[in-house]
Structure 1
Amino acid sequence: MALAHSESSDGTRYRDLNGNGVMDPYEDPRLSSDDRADDLLGRLSLEEKAGLVFQTVIHVGAPGDHDDPGHVGTGTARELVLGKRMNHFNVTRLPSARQTALWVNALQELAEGTPHGIPVTLASDPRHGFSHNEGMVQPAGHLSQWPETLGLAAIGEVDLFERFADVARREYRALGITSAIHPQIDLATDPRWARQLQTFGQDPAQVSAFVAAYLRGFQGQDLSTGVACIAKHFPGGGAQKDGEDPHFPYGREQVYPGGRFDEHLAPFRAAIFAGVAAVMPYYGMPVGLTVDGELIDEVGFAFNRAIITDLLRSRLHFDGVVVSDWAIISDIEVAGKPWPAKAWGVEHLSIPERVTLALQSGVDQIGGETLTEVVVDLVQNGTIEEEHLNQSVRRILLVKFRLGLFDNPYVEPDTADAAVGTVEYRQEGHNAQARSITILKNEGILPLPEGTRLYCEGMNVDDVRQYGVEVVDKPEDADVAVVRLAAPYEPRDMYFLEAATHQGSLDFDPEVIAHLADLASRTAVIADIHLERAAILTPIAPSTSALVGNYGASDRALLDALFGRIQAQGTLPMELPSSMTEVLASYPDVPSDTGNPLFPVGHSVPYATVMRT
């Protein structure tokens, strides 16, 4: 059973988390978060402190089944919470809202069995869109579904960012999720980079305005009803050498040949000013980077004292939690695929040495690891001073207190289903999907008139018919062919997460180009490109009567935009190059740096003023 509230001698209701029959200061809801954190810090054992400085993935299984390791392989809930004294976890796959809430409550009840009853903080990667990459982003499922944040940037309304974040906050809270492993405020400057879809675009000023609104919506005024956000990936992950991603060994180098490092910092300055709870350094290691005349060590940002302590803490005055990205210490294997530790530049160090360097460089909490015993040993043998550890633990506890978890970590299973994915929220998400559609080319064919016969590829034909449109089986019988295409990429599948991390060339396969040309010889073609990153549209544009881009949109949302039932209002939040030759000649840290782009940033064209019949 969940812990019942007790009543102090003066009538104050509190939770007796350590079971001593006394309302200790950390249990007193009347005291400030600072006072409560200070009191609890002095009571913790070294093992409890070590548990607080790690966060990892946890399996969401049957409520109350604390001995099922599930598919993630990091350990059972009982092992992690009671054995390792951990109480920060991120969740991936979720059942229904009600089942999730029941599982959360059972986990919080388990945490009450620890010496000081420290409640669990549950975190999530973005999960309100269409993308799915297990270690980076989850699909919406039973939550409301919106375009990815790059699509919100295409709409370009600051208020919409705040409204989306407020809806997401309410849904997270209903599920017991109180930490967001986002916003991702990297600048989308290299067209090839795989992580652009969850960014806010390429413009530093716009991204800064968007992130301030996003944090207002998610965190609220004081976190008491909010969700603590982790801004990532400091100091800006968009400037990747050759556009490759540092989740993998070949993408470990981050470069600034255009000298735009300060521009990539700008959104983080805005996030810090807005009070973001935490910041996550990226995996990448800077190559040839000089900051204020100092050459920065070529080691991963989580191991880089000049970046975390000197820049983030001292110069930018960030006093919140620094959470490392996942799996920077240990080599692991997931689903039969290797995933080397992202210990770029310090691969030669042992595991204890890597942990030491990360903590001494300024990391407070290490993600994706459970090495609590290593930290205990490092403190006991004098390698890490306990006072240094205390500073990190206090920052982490402060966020828990500000979230109100010590006073009530439980959620309401009976109302969870009604609070998540409401009709209102789903309609708002749908409207945003349609509005974010970007019309790149329109030869007078859009908006489509009612009664248009469609031939469809890449769409669910049953959904299209339910929309009220006649669907034909042959292109030559259609008024228009609507073809939905993914942005091109080079298939890779050596490492964990690599298959779903789309990288490499932006060129379409010749077969796709030829197929569109053949379709165009038989009927008018509208091509819709899923712009998870840029694409070279030069060879396919001539075959289309209209060309549009989406950033996560259902078939119905696309049709609403094509028929003009909901106005497509998106403008390109990044440029679309004309060729890979131009991409290869560009600088990865400089926005809009390809020569003669096919469609520049900000591009869109309107609907035809006279509807075609």
Structure 2
Amino acid sequence: MQETNTEQVAALLETLSLEEKVAQLGTVRIGTLLEDGSFSRDRALETIPHGIGRVTRVGRESRLEPAALARVVRDVQSFLEAETRPGIPAIFREEALCGYAGRRGTAFPQSIGMASTWNPELLERVADGMSSQLRAVGCRATLAPVLDLGLDPRWGRIEETFGEDPALVGRLGLAAIEGFQGGNHGSVLATAKHFAGHGRPEGGQNRAPATRSFRTLEANDLRPFRAAVERGDVESIMAAYHAVEGVPCHADERLLTGVLRDEWGFDGTVVSDGRGIELLCDDHHVVPDRAAAGRIALRAGIDVELPERECYGSALLEAVRDGEIREALVDRAARRHLEQKSRLGLFESATPDPDCVGEVFDSEEHRRLARRAARETLVLLENNGVLPLSTDATVAVVGPNADSPRHLLGNYTYAAAESDESGLDVVTPLEAIRDRLQTRSVRYERGCEVRAEDDATDGESGDFDAATAAARDADVVLACVGGRSGIDVERDATGTAGEGLDRTSLSLPGRQQALLEAVAATGTPLVVVLVNGRPLSLASLDTPAAILEAWLPGQAGGLAIADVLFGDVDATGRLPVSIPRSAGQLPVHYRRTALSAEQDYVDEPADPWYPFGHGESYATFEYANFDVASTTVPIGGAIDLSLDVTNAADRPGVEVVQLYVRDREASVTRPVRELRGFRRLSLPPGERRRVSFSLSTDALALLDRDAEWVVEPGSFEVQVGRSSADIRLRETVTVTGALEPPSSPVAVLDSMGHR
């Protein structure tokens, strides 16, 4: 990013008419400027005569090939510069949650899978790869990353999150922001969303009110956003749809101005969620009409309306002229937007080069990166020794996600809505396994669809005869089951997860559970591959021989699944969420207090089916020689510790060493343990490595009874292990001194990974 040319922005703002300033606050969809797939000057003259702040949905809505889209962006920018009086270029934007959401955009793994890598450096590379494709078509902004905590798996959008832990989400969020805004391919504005508390909706329903108090949000949900502002210099924040303590986020001046700007020092733009301002009157009913919604949102601190000018258009213009809102508020938002355009360098060069687009689409570099990323997302939940598979085995492949390219993709990939014209080469698990074993060794029977209503057969159990026959004749059964990601608020109401697709159950959709039971009854070893965006529970099924959580692994998902199943690479993923046994346990995240975490139900335990941080490996790791430099540390000092990790297997492996801390006594109730550091290690057979952490006492800070961040003296148990439920080594440390505020409430990020 460039430095802001404040003098240029101030001089430009001074020359703008009220109409031109209001235009900078608005957005238009690319379709309003197109005719037969090309830029229409007549439509532009009618739609954006005074200029425009942003142009949105350029890849998804135009459906253009990258080079053709780059020409359209060039033509729009040329029109704005030459044929509108201000001559101000627009910021074009497209989604890039798991890849540029346009034709031929590389489909990387969905966010929850990237979180399972526990590899910030890899995530930064992936975000940089997305940035290169965005830049190539002329997009300089994207609506990613999602920094919501994924606390309720009933919520369809949990797939878009980096999991349940504030520190892990914050660290991965910084990696994504750096990849977008500071990568090798130039700057694309990142947008951290959804501010705030969107990941803990009431009843698990999208847009429902946040279930906890503002104090709880500040201690947990706000911390990744604070890290994005204070450590990542994120350029944009998106407000959330829901209400916190009765106040819709789009109208919450305390949140959008008091906390975000006055307390944290944010100086970028706050954008609305799609039609979020309209919801203030249409759904929240806190104002009588959309004109009033625009006024209250602008006062609260919303600078840009997405995706169209329903509340920031002519109604806002009239409100200023009628004295219902101060023009200074329009100036404030317009200045912030112009400053971003200055930092992006748009006043010097705003047009992409269509002739260079081919360099970053369909590239071997991106295909390799997509495959590597997909490999590292895979989490081996269970393995009784059946994996890795032998290339001499005969395999029965069953299930609706074995040969469905679309089902491997996250909800905001272009192919999720336009699968027939995405231009992607998506390799399914069945294709990859057939390539390994040759067709004669593989028999495929779909068995059922993801949703019961899509099955061709009637009856409670479906027709599984062909699937069970294939299972009896095989050495192993590979069942690829799970869900189908979509976006119900747009075109796709056939999904089982994604935006607007919430569920009350965490079991497999449709007849898939019955399919698993049928093939398991044959006695042939069963390997389950879960392809899904939300955590699903198979706790009621007799434990299969192996379970591989694949999430939504993207275009190289089938290749990556085969790579891990056959042992070409280790299973390296670790869970970024706790997987419940049932929906009745919720919330079941690992950061609960002792009273909830340690008290069982009458009908099932309180602990999850699989805990946060869990993931098996083909190697075996031993932890030993735990050394804490000093068991007494003053406030302001650091807890220095080290340990030996040894790969005791005869094959290479990857381990994720996890550091947790338990506050044994505090002024407020504390979680049983909290993640405070991790290291991802690649170890050859028999190798031992010394792993060190230096944990500042600032990382022990809590929000006290007066809602102030403090570091308290006391006794802390430092724990190291393979997951939140598999602690291998521990030591008690006494922190001494008087209460002090931390240098920053996000200081814990200093021990996260290798940053």
CA distance in 1, matches of 2:282, 2:46: 26
Partner of 1:399: 340
**2:475 is aligned with what amino acid?**
D
Partner of 1:279: 237
CA distance in 1, matches of 2:236, 2:4: 20
Name which of 573, 587, 592 aligns with 1:570: 573
Taking structure 1 as reference, are residues 344 and 578 closer, same or farther at Cα in structure 2, changes over 3 Å only? same
Residues 164-563 of structure 1: matches in 2 within 5 Å? 164-220=126-182, 225-246=186-207, 251-256=208-213, 259-273=216-230, 274-287=232-245, 298-330=246-278, 344-371=283-310, 372-457=313-398, 458-460=401-403, 461-469=430-438, 470-473=441-444, 474-487=470-483, 500=495, 501-504=500-503, 505-509=505-509, 511-522=511-522, 523-540=524-541, 542=542, 544-553=544-553, 554-563=557-566
CA distance in 1, matches of 2:280, 2:492: 13
Check the 8 A contact 2:192/2:225 in 1, yes or no.
yes
Check the 8 A contact 1:431/1:566 in 2, yes or no.
no
Question: 1:141: Cα distance to partner?
Answer: 4.6
Percent identity over the alignment is 27
Name which of 40, 46, 57 aligns with 1:66: 40
CA distance in 2, matches of 1:63, 1:104: 12
Taking structure 1 as reference, are residues 79 and 311 closer, same or farther at Cα in structure 2, changes over 3 Å only? same
Check the 8 A contact 1:517/1:543 in 2, yes or no.
no
Question: 1:351: Cα distance to partner?
Answer: 1.2
SS at match of 2:549: strand
CA distance in 2, matches of 1:253, 1:497: 26
Residues 34-53 of structure 1: matches in 2 within 5 Å? 34-53=6-25
Taking structure 1 as reference, are residues 569 and 577 closer, same or farther at Cα in structure 2, changes over 3 Å only? same
Check the 8 A contact 2:320/2:326 in 1, yes or no.
yes
Taking structure 1 as reference, are residues 254 and 495 closer, same or farther at Cα in structure 2, changes over 3 Å only? farther
Question: 1:127: Cα distance to partner?
Answer: 5.0
CA distance in 2, matches of 1:532, 1:240: 17
Question: 1:479: Cα distance to partner?
Answer: 2.0
Q: Relative contact order (C-alpha < 8 Å, sep 6+): which is higher?
A: 1
Question: 1:252: Cα distance to partner?
Answer: 4.2
**2:13 is aligned with what amino acid?**
L
**1:122 is aligned with what amino acid?**
F
CA distance in 1, matches of 2:149, 2:285: 26
Per mean C-alpha deviation after superposition, the further-off stretch among 453-462 and 414-423 is 453-462
CA distance in 2, matches of 1:430, 1:569: 14
Unmatched runs of 5 consecutive residues or more in structure 2: 404-429, 445-469, 598-605, 620-648, 652-755
Check the 8 A contact 1:80/1:86 in 2, yes or no.
no
Question: 1:120: Cα distance to partner?
Answer: 1.8
Q: TM-score, normalised by structure 2?
A: 0.66
Name which of 104, 112, 128 aligns with 2:73: 104
SS at match of 1:481: strand
**1:514 is aligned with what amino acid?**
A
* Pair 1:90-2:57 in alignment: yes
Check the 8 A contact 2:96/2:130 in 1, yes or no.
no
**2:168 is aligned with what amino acid?**
Q
Cα deviation code 1:417-438 (max 9, x no counterpart):
2222410121111111012110
SS at match of 2:192: strand
**1:280 is aligned with what amino acid?**
M
* Pair 1:598-2:609 in alignment: yes
Q: Give the alignment's Cα RMSD to 1 decimal.
A: 3.1
Partner of 1:15: none
SS at match of 1:233: strand
Per mean C-alpha deviation after superposition, the further-off stretch among 212-221 and 563-572 is 212-221
CA distance in 1, matches of 2:96, 2:35: 20
Question: 1:145: Cα distance to partner?
Answer: 2.7
CA distance in 1, matches of 2:138, 2:570: 36
**1:218 is aligned with what amino acid?**
F
CA distance in 1, matches of 2:434, 2:327: 65
SS at match of 2:477: strand
**2:113 is aligned with what amino acid?**
G
Flag the structure with higher strand content.
2
Check the 8 A contact 1:520/1:543 in 2, yes or no.
no
Check the 8 A contact 1:281/1:302 in 2, yes or no.
yes
Taking structure 1 as reference, are residues 153 and 509 closer, same or farther at Cα in structure 2, changes over 3 Å only? closer
Check the 8 A contact 1:128/1:143 in 2, yes or no.
no
Q: TM-score, normalised by structure 1?
A: 0.81
SS at match of 2:442: coil
Partner of 1:81: 48
- The count of aligned residue pairs is 540
Unmatched runs of 5 consecutive residues or more in structure 1: 1-29, 69-75, 130-137, 288-297, 331-339
Question: 1:580: Cα distance to partner?
Answer: 2.0
Partner of 1:3: none
CA distance in 1, matches of 2:293, 2:152: 30
